[in-house]
Amino acid sequence: MPEISVFNLDGKEVEKIKLDQNLFSGKVNKALLSEVILMHQANKRKGLAATKTVAYVRGGGKKPWKQKGTGRARAGSIRSPLWRGGGIVFGPHPRDYSYEVPKKARNLSVLSAINAKLVEREIFVVDNITLPSKKTKEFVLILNNVSKIIHNLKDSDNSSQPKEKKVKKIERFLFVYEKLDKDLMLASRNVKNVNTVLVNNLNSLDILLNDHIIFSKPALENFIHSRSAESRAKRGEQ
């Protein structure tokens, strides 16, 4: 059974949490992930693009010249789509792009995204993510400690490999916690490249858009418990 380490903010390993082999097998369903991510991106679209048809363009109430005898083509309005300044034919109009993928598919896509991050060793667990107050500088201290833990682990993993020239990269962090923590939300909202989310609202797009996923220990336990219960129900176990 796979395990994941839990660290405190000093960078010391506190314990290990066992992961359900049926859930955290390392398998990634790329086709399902693609389908669900397209859904999330479509649901974010505003759909506000608009053009005016002949009915909405100003002017053109009078026939510009008589029907016959001028030698010119017949014209009923200066706002015809053929004329400059006329109405637009088949242009975009406000619409709703959103649609839904079945809930089971969305849940499976979250597991696929988590497994992809586990394989890349980009999921980390901290025993406690709490702030004494809603000050940004206190959250930045936690972020710096977490960042040190992550880079120390990566350096130890890459110690056996030949050293390559490192290219600086902007890293994005996603903090996942169990209960709504207003202080954490307020303290982190002004920090660049940092997002926070409740474990119940976690989705595959959030996971894949961020470089490092940091779970609090209660959040990960909640995630494992809920997904294991769903898996047992699916298999018809008690």
Asked whether residue 179 falls in the same domain as residue 131, the answer is yes
Asked whether residue 176 falls in the same domain as residue 123, the answer is yes
Asked whether residue 91 falls in the same domain as residue 155, the answer is no
Section 13-42 average pLDDT: 90
Asked whether residue 106 falls in the same domain as residue 89, the answer is no
Asked whether residue 61 falls in the same domain as residue 85, the answer is yes
Asked whether residue 69 falls in the same domain as residue 123, the answer is no
Q: What is the pLDDT of residues 163-201, one digit of tens each?
A: 555 555 678 999 998 888 788 888 888 888 999 999 999
Instruction: Quote the number of domains for the chain.
Output: 2
Asked whether residue 189 falls in the same domain as residue 143, the answer is yes
pTM of the model: 0.80
Asked whether residue 121 falls in the same domain as residue 176, the answer is yes
Give the chain as a DSSP string.
--EEEEE-TTS-EEEEEE--TTT-S----HHHHHHHHHHHHHHH---------TTTSS---S-SS-SSSSSSPP-S-TTSTTSTT-PPSS------------HHHHHHHHHHHHHHHHHTT-EEEES----SSS-HHHHHHHHHHHHHHHHHHHHHHTTTSPP---------EEEEESS--HHHHHHHTTSTTEEEEEGGG--HHHHHH-SEEEEEHHHHHHHHHHHHHHHHHHHT--
Asked whether residue 53 falls in the same domain as residue 148, the answer is no
Taking the C-alpha atoms of residue 74 and residue 201, their distance in angstroms, rounded to an integer, is 61
Pick the range with the lowest mean pLDDT from 23-27, 129-133, 204-208.
129-133
Range of the domain at 58: 46-96
Asked whether residue 91 falls in the same domain as residue 113, the answer is no
Q: What is the pLDDT of residues 116-158, one digit of tens each?
A: 999 888 899 998 877 877 889 988 988 888 888 888 777 666 6
Helix axes 103-119, 217-235, angle to 10 degrees: 130
Q: What CATH number is associated with residue 185?
A: 3.40.1370.10
Asked whether residue 77 falls in the same domain as residue 146, the answer is no
Identity of the residue numbered 156 = S
**Residue 134 confidence (pLDDT):** 82
pLDDT at 229 over 80: no
Percent of the chain past pLDDT 70, that is, above it, reads 89
Asked whether residue 25 falls in the same domain as residue 66, the answer is no
Q: What is the pLDDT of residues 55-101, one digit of tens each?
A: 999 998 899 999 999 999 999 999 999 999 999 999 999 999 999 99
